[in-house]
Amino acid sequence: MEISEELYDAGSNEELKAKKYWAQDMCYKYNHTEPSKVEERVEMIKKIFGKTAGRPIVEQDFWCDFGYNISVGEHFYMNHNCTILDPAPVEFGDHVLIGPNCNFYTVGHPVDANLRNQGLATKKPIKVGNNVWIGGNVIVLPGVTIGDNVTIGAGSVVTKDIPSNCVALGSPCKVVKNL
C-alpha cells in the first residue's frame, strides 16, 4: 500500500502496521547479528531495502519504518546508529558515505494541533545523489534533494534542497563552498 503525500493515519491502517512490524522485526534481527557475519548482514539489508545495487554496508544499529521505500546504489556505506523513517521513498545514489548517528525523516506532522492530535501525518520523499558524503550527526528532513558530488558537514540539519558540486553545512544547512 502506497501512502500519498497528503495526510494519512498510519496508526489505524492494519496493512501499514503489519509492514512496519515486519521491518522493525527485521531491523531487530539485523542489529543482533554478530558484526563479524558481514555477508549475512549484507543479505539481510538486501531483504529489508526495496532496491539495492552491489554490496551495501550498513553498520549496526540501524532502524527504519518500512524498508521497502529505501533504495541504494553501488558502493553504499552507512555508519553506526542511523535511522531512516521511510513512509515515502528514500533514494541514495552510487558512492554514498553516511557518517554515524544520521537520520533521514520523510514523515512529518501537521502544524495544526487538531489534525496532529488525530494521529495524522504527512510524507515527502528524500533523494541523495551520487558521490555524496554526509558527515556524522546529520538530519535530513522531508522533501529534501541533495545533488551529486556533495559533502554535508557534520551536525547539519538539511531543511532544503542542496545543489550538486558543493560543500554545505550548518543548521539550517547552507552551501559554503562550490566545487
Q: What is the mean pLDDT of the chain?
A: 94
Known catalytic residues are 109
Question: Bridge-partner residues for 64, per DSSP?
Answer: 84
Q: How far is CA 18 from CA 1, 55, 58, in A?
A: 11, 28, 24
Mean pLDDT of 61-76: 98
Domain extent listing, the chain: 10-178
For residue 50, what is its C-alpha cell? 526495496
Domain 10-178 top-level CATH class: mainly beta
- The pLDDT tens digits for 103-126 are 999 999 988 899 889 888 999 999
